Each structure stands twice: as structure tokens, then as C-alpha cells.
Amino acid sequence: MAKQEEVSLIDSFSEFIDLKSIDRSTMISVMEESFRSVISKMFGTDENYDVIINPDKGDFEIYRNRKIVEDADLEDDNTEISLSEARKIDEDFEVGEDVTDKVDFASFGRRAILNLRQTLASKILDLQKDNLIAKYKEKLGTIVSGEVYQVWKKEILLVDEDGNEMLLPKSEQIPTDFYHKGDNVRAIVAKVDGSNNNPKIILSRTSNDFLRRLFELEVPEINDGLITIKGIARIPGERAKVAVESYDDRIDPVGACVGMKGARIHGIVRELRNENIDVINYTSNVSLYISRALSPARISSIRLLEEYKRADVFLKPEEVSLAIGKGGMNIRLATMLTEYQIEVFRDEPGSFDGEDIYLDEFLDEIDPWVIDILKGIGCDTAKSVLDIPRDELLKRTDLEEETIDDVIRILSAEFESEGEAEADEVAGSSDSEE
């Protein structure tokens, strides 16, 4: 009976190796360590035993080494053997020589076999836990897939292709997520907790990194490093803003992320339960960056308070609601993306000098895209542009010198002509009085 259990035990080892794909040498080492642990508990030492594991044959061999002593001097029959017993094995043995004989593990008794099973099971479980933790620590920040195994109130239990358990807490689910047993779920590995000898793989679908990885999957240019995601702001399931930058002037980063007819962005939107995603061009120009972050609103001007990381944004009355967005969502995302506290102010008509002129009045002389760039740095009127030194305009707009000079000339000419007209009126009035 014990012999049958011994064979069954080896069979279970082989099955475990095949099913769990644990490193062969590691598994053999664990098995040998388990045998030695049992032997040590039984005899107080395992130093005089040789354990040989043969996983290919599905068996094992144990050999005991003992020193030959005179019959009267025998004290420990585990490490010593009497001369008379030794000569039953070989008549030529003498005192002081070593005897090695094969041990039948079944002869140790049923308790030893059960003890071995328990010891091996414990070591295998520890090994499995260590392998699981190591495997998923390498996957931190990457997307994994799992099948819904059980749905609870506060979390969902998923299993991967190897049967490993993963948890998706309610707090890490998109508010509109709804799953049934058997559904396939994609999420990012957010945390691997190995405390209390109980590994926990925590997933997330609300993390900004989940959105970042989805873009890497859908947009080859990002995966290849031609386009970089410079910032992400998200209200999971509602709306997100993503700032992108291209290292190749020939590539339009926003167009590449959106794809032909929105093909690329639509895949991400579907995965995120119709989360609305705004993709904008990143710029190191803070005023322009804030302006783009507040899209679709068109701002009139911006006043930056760098020391407080604050931006006062002035808009026409009809643009204010767009800047704030539904429930304050747009301005909240812009604040998260730019890391500037944004305050919105209504720019009432006539709130500037009555002699000033809105830039839109110059559309027949200045290209619309140039005017948009000027507005992007907080200049909505002619005088607001002329009040900025030429070198500062070049730095803040990234426009060519020729373009800036043309803008200054056109805007200055408008005020010069007005000044000449006023001078003529004064002179005419003086002549009439005479």
C-alpha cells in the first residue's frame, strides 16, 4: 500500500511539472528539499542521505551512508552499522569503512509519506506564489486580459489564461462598466501585493496609464516613439484630454492619434465606454497650451501668475460656458492637464480701450492661422499685440521674423492712420476758427 502511494506521489510531481510549467531544476530542488526535510525530522539529520530525483522516469532513489563499527560500539543505527550487519552485505567489510545501502522510503511508514506530501505541497504553493508575484511585477503598468469568474459588490474576480486570480476593485472600474460571468475584460496591472503570503493582483481601468497604453496599441507612431504623449487628464467614463507631440515635422500628432475618419480614436472610445477624448497639440508655450486645453472655447486673453501657477483667462460672454463645460468638467480637465489653476473671467464688449481693435478686424490683411496663434498667447486685440516686445512675440508664438514684422507693421499702421486723421481734424478746426 505504501509502495503504491510512493508511485502515486511521483506521478503527481510529474503532472505538476507539466501543468504549471515551473522550471525543471527548481522543481527537482524543491522535491529533494522536501524529502530531506522529512528525513531530518525523523532521524535528526539528513547529512548522511543522498536523494536522487528522476522526473523523466517518474521515480526517486534514496541512499543512506553509514560507518562500520564494532558490534559492541554501536550507538546510532542511523549513522552507524555493526560489523556483523555490514558483513551480511559484503563479507570483506572492515571496521571504519563506509556502507551505502538503498532505502525504501515506504519502510519509513505511512506517517512519513503523509508528512512528505504536506511538506511538498507547502513548498510548491510558496513557489507558485513567488512565481505569480514575479510574473505580474514585470507586467506592472501594462494591459492584461482576464475572464470574469465572479462579480461581487466591491470588486470583480478575474482569471488569466493560466488560471491565476486578479482583482478589479469597484473604485478602479469605469462608472458605466457592467460585467457578467464569462465576460472578457482588459485592464492595466496597477499593483502587486505580496504581503501576508497572499498575493493580490490589482487591476485598474480608471488609471491614466490605461488610456496611455490603449493609445500605444492603437497608434503605431506612439509605439514607435515618433509621437509622445506629454500629458493626460481624465474623468473616467466621461471625458479625457490628451496632449501629444511629434518629433517628426511631417507627422501631424493629433491627426495620427485620431486616425482616418476617427478609426483609431473610436476603438479607444469604445473600450472606455464612450468616454469623450480630446486630443490636442502639446506646446511649451504655457499660454498657448492653456488655450488649447480649454478647447472648444476660444479665449480672448490670458494673464499668467507664474509664482502661483495660476492663469486668469478672459473670454467673450458666449465662450464662457464652453470653457467651463458641463458640470465644470472642461475647466477641471484643463487644470489637471496644464497643472495651472485656471480662473475664467467674462470679457465684456468695450472692456478694453475704445480705440483698440479686435484682431478679427484684420482678417483681410493677416492670415487666420496667424491670428489664432496670437490669440493663443492671450492677445485678442491690436494693442495687446503691440504692447509685447518684438523679441517676446517671436519667442512666445514661434512665428518667423518676417511674419511678426508684417503683423506689427499692419497693426501699427492702423493706429498711425487714426492718429493722422485726428491731427488733420484738429488742424482743420484751428483754421476755421481763424
| Domain that includes residue 198, residue range | 140-206
DSSP letter at 73 equals G
- Give the residue from 116, 5, 14, 4 showing the smallest Cα distance to 58: 14
Residue 49 within a domain = yes
Residue 60 within a domain = yes
158 shares a domain with 254: no
Give dist(CA 349, CA 352) in Å, integer.
8
**H helices then E strands: how many in the chain?**
15, 15
Q: Can you say how many angstroms the Cα of residue 207 is from the centroid of all Cα atoms in its chain? A: 7
Mean pLDDT calculated for residue range 332-339: 96
- Of 244, 278, 312, the residue at which a domain comes to its end is 278
Query: Looking at the 3D structure of the chain, how many domains does it have?
Result: 5
Give dist(CA 195, CA 141) in Å, integer.
20
CATH for 287: 3.30.300.20
pLDDT of 392-420, one tens digit each? Answer: 888 888 888 999 999 999 988 877 755 45
- Is this model's pTM higher than 0.75 or not? no
406 shares a domain with 303: no
Give dist(CA 326, CA 94) in Å, integer.
97
pLDDT of 87-145, one tens digit each? Answer: 888 888 888 899 888 887 777 777 877 877 788 778 878 888 888 898 999 999 999 99
378 shares a domain with 259: no
Give dist(CA 59, CA 37) in Å, integer.
18
* Burial bucket for residue 344 (CB in 10 Å: 0-12, 13-18, 19+): buried
- Of 278, 306, 323, the residue at which a domain comes to its end is 278
